[in-house]
Amino acid sequence: MKADGRRLSLYGYELPTGTPGHELLRHSAPSAEMRFHPLRGVHAIYAPQRQERTFQPKTAEDPLAPFVPGSAPTEIPFGDFEVAIFENRFTSLSFETDDHQTTRYASSRALGKCEVVVYSSEPVGNLFSVGQARRILLIEALIDRYQSLFKDGASYVMPFENRGERIGVTLPHPHGQIYAFAETPPPQAFAARAFASGYDLNADHASWEGAFDVTRRGELNVFCPPFARFPYETWIVPKFDCPGPWTMQSEQIEDLAYLLGDVVRRLDALFQEEMPYMMSFQAAPRGHAGPFQFTVQFFPILRDAGRQKFLASVEQFTGVFTVDVPPETAAQRLRELVA
């Protein structure tokens, strides 16, 4: 438990080194609410404390770095670590807020929890460069957080990564996040209903006859779905029924870990530069009855070298995406980028 009451979880093949340092970082008082949009039928989160979050710090002020005596305080007060997960200091969701902290415009409190997932103590790196052993450890850590957050009352848990300044990342240190929602968001609730009603993603994939395939490993496929909304959008999908990574066997986790790195390697090789992307684990909501197919989805935002895909007026106002790169073309290009 950190000095300000936030939980820090460390995961590793060995114990972290060094004596915990003195903590000075403190979290902002959680204040977040949901407001309903009557013309779109969706909610938005309003969390003014996020305006205070750290933005592109100098290396010496990296809040995700291991603690060094005599230097600036960090979120992880150990001299070394492998994977660290802690409650976000500038959270969008909290179980701590009460009705007295919301305005009269709120439709509800923004209930849930936000966590930061640090991949490495090193200041640079990515899901490919950290290596297979670290990726396996990362997946095992996420499984632990799924189970803990569901137990705490979360309805939907989404680990994700925003990568690159063009996406809006404020900390360059390799990391992801977890949002645990008290209520399942509409897109995930729609997906759950689709799977429960009989939609079979693997059967659909088989009907594409390999046209959208990128690679495979063991019992997992990688493809660019024909209904992709982003250029070079890429999914990792188990060939077997899988509501979430917590049901995977060790060999399947190893294959998933390998493919997480392989997809990043291919995306970076595509234009010979670091590909900015959004990536998320899409698993079943807590207590979901019936089938559900777990996926890992990458949404890259470069459509060509030096050319970014922007969500402009059509996408923002209608939700109808315009896609410049057909998924079958994207799959072929990614497929040709062999190791």
Tens of pLDDT, residues 94-124:
988 776 678 999 999 999 999 999 999 999 9
Alpha carbons within 13 angstroms on the beta-carbon side of residue 126 total: 19
Sorted by sequence, the CB contacts under 8 Å of residue 152 that are 6+ apart come out as 95, 113, 180
Predicted confidence at residue 19, as pLDDT, reads: 63
**Euclidean distance between the first and final Cα of the chain, in Å?**
43
Predicted confidence at residue 57, as pLDDT, reads: 86
Sign of CA dihedral 145, 151, 153, 155: positive
Angstrom distances, CA of residue 78 to CA of 31, 87, 121, 123, 294: 29, 16, 10, 15, 34
Predicted confidence at residue 22, as pLDDT, reads: 64
Run means of pLDDT, 10 residues per run, the chain, 339 residues: 89 82 70 93 92 84 87 86 94 82 90 96 96 98 98 97 93 96 96 97 97 98 98 98 97 98 98 97 95 97 94 94 96 91
Sorted by sequence, the CB contacts under 8 Å of residue 146 that are 6+ apart come out as 157, 244, 245, 246, 283
Helix residue spans in the chain (DSSP H):
132-151, 186-196, 201-207, 250-270, 313-318, 327-335
